[in-house]
Amino acid sequence: MAGPKRILVACGTAIATSTVVAKGIEEAMAERGIKVITRQCKAAEVKGLAKDADLIVTTTPVPKDLGVPVIQTLAFLTGLGKEEVLDEIEAALKE
């Protein structure tokens, strides 16, 4: 049995935006029956924390080639394209 998937949620300050995103992912993935653990961080910390994550979801640009899939989105804040992003997250976690 695989354990819960680890999602690193990044934004500028690790206080505001990533809080909304992390909560949004947790709720939506729970509805889809997928266990996830989220961890919030600042964009500047992503590089150091990427190796402990299965997926990175970020609202600000982060470095490329982290060795982990990265999804950049504002959907959890603005609602635009949210379903598509949730599908994308689900697909990335199943890989």
- Which residues participate in catalysis according to the annotation? 11
| Residue with Cβ nearer other proteins (19 or 90) | 19
Collapsing DSSP to helix, strand or coil, 26 comes out as helix
State the Cα–Cα distance between residues 61 and 71, nearest whole angstrom. 10
* Whether 41 contacts 8, CB under 8 Å: yes
The 52-71 contact track toward other proteins, x by CB under 8 A, reads -------xxx----------
9 binds other proteins (CB under 8 A): no
Residues 6+ apart with CB under 8 A from 22: 7, 9, 38, 40
Contact range with other proteins by CB under 8 A, out of 29-37, 48-56, 75-83, 84-92: 75-83
CB of 28 to other proteins, least distance (A): 13
80 binds other proteins (CB under 8 A): yes
State the Cα–Cα distance between residues 46 and 1, nearest whole angstrom. 27
The 23-52 contact track toward other proteins, x by CB under 8 A, reads xx---------------x--x---------
* Whether 10 contacts 43, CB under 8 Å: yes
